[in-house]
Structure 1
Amino acid sequence: MAPIPIKPGIYKIHAHIIGPSAVVTATEYAVKHGAPVITDRLNPLPIEQDWIIEPVESVPGSPYLVRLAHHEAAGLVIAEDKLYVNSVPRGELAKFTFERVIGGVKIHSDKELALRSGHRGAQITLVPPKPEFQETWTLEYVGPLNEE
């Protein structure tokens, strides 16, 4: 299917996994490539669970960057087919497209791999896309970008 446009803004990204509601969360500790990104229960503090989704360029069809909403320079990076958050130059952030699927959206990297959440607490991996619910996500719009 063709990529769909996403309204730029602040989002919570919900995983479709069995068990309690889970959202994409930046962990508090860093390893070689940055802080692993996992799915975890919704926490009362949004610091590590609110994400900015914005187009790379302001042209139709442009892929998107995903950054932490409360940490200006921290965004999603991909290393060894796993998802991390790290403070890197904007040009080094991973680029994503979104595809509408039954029950939500599928998130694809620029290498056409899909984000997958195996279970709550597991690091998000990138895999060849399949019609599996662990690769389906819901984007909950929280609000607009606070551009000054």
Structure 2
Amino acid sequence: MPPIPVKPGIYRIHAHIIGPGTQLTATEHAVKYGAPVIADRANPLPIEQEWAIEPTEPMPGAPYVIHLALQENAGIVTPEDKLWVNSVPRGEWTKFTFESVLGGVKIISERGLACAAGYRGQQIELTEPKPEFQQTWTLEFIRPIDAE
């Protein structure tokens, strides 16, 4: 599928997992490559569950980077094909595109792999794109990036 544009802003990213509502969540403790990014129950702490999605450059078709909304220097990186949040230079953050799929969007890394959440509590992995609900996400727009 061709990439679709996403409005830059602050989002909650919901995983399509059977069970309680699940969101993309940064864990509190860093290990190895930063803080693991997991699929977890909705948590009222926005510092862990609100994500800024913005294009890498101001032109149509540019890929996007994703970082914690309340920590502008904490972006998503993908060593070992898993998602981590780390305060490394922005140029080291993974670039993503979004594809429309039945029921949501697929989040595709710059290497062409899809973000997948197999179960609640699992660290998000990058896998070959397939028509599976574990690779389907809903982007819930919360507010523009400049709004507090």
* TM-score band, normalised by shorter chain: over 0.9
1:61 is paired with a residue of what secondary structure?
Answer: coil
In structure 2, what is the equivalent of residue 42 of structure 1?
Answer: 42
Deviations, residues 97-127 of structure 1 (Å, cap 9, x unaligned): 0000000000000000000001000000000
Residue aligned with 1:112, SS: coil
2:106, 2:72 → 1: CA distance?
25
What are the equivalent positions in structure 2 for 1:1-148 lying under 5 Å apart? 1-146=1-146
State the alpha-carbon separation in 2 of the partners of residues 48 and 100 from structure 1: 25
Runs of 5+ consecutive residues of structure 1 not aligned to the other structure: none
Percent identity between the two aligned chains: 66
SS at match of 1:66: strand
Q: How far is 1:84 from its partner? A: 0.3
Amino acid at match of 2:14: H
Read off the aligned partner of 1:131 and give its amino acid letter. P
Task: List runs of 5+ in structure 2 lacking aligned partners.
Answer: none
Structure 1 residue ranges, 4+ long, deviating more than 2 angstroms after superposition:
none
Q: Which amino acid aligns with 1:89?
A: P
Partner-residue secondary structure (3-state), 1:111 = coil
Helix, strand or coil for the counterpart of 2:146?
A: coil
| 1:16 positional shift | 0.1
Amino acid aligned to 2:84 = Y
The CA RMSD measured in Å over matched residues stands at 1.1
Q: Deviations over 1:64-107 (max 9, x none)?
A: 00000011200100000100000010100000000000000000
**Alignment partners' CA distance in 2, 1:15 and 1:73:** 24
| TM-score normalised by L of structure 1 | 0.98
Q: Distance in 2 between matches of 1:42 and 1:111?
A: 29
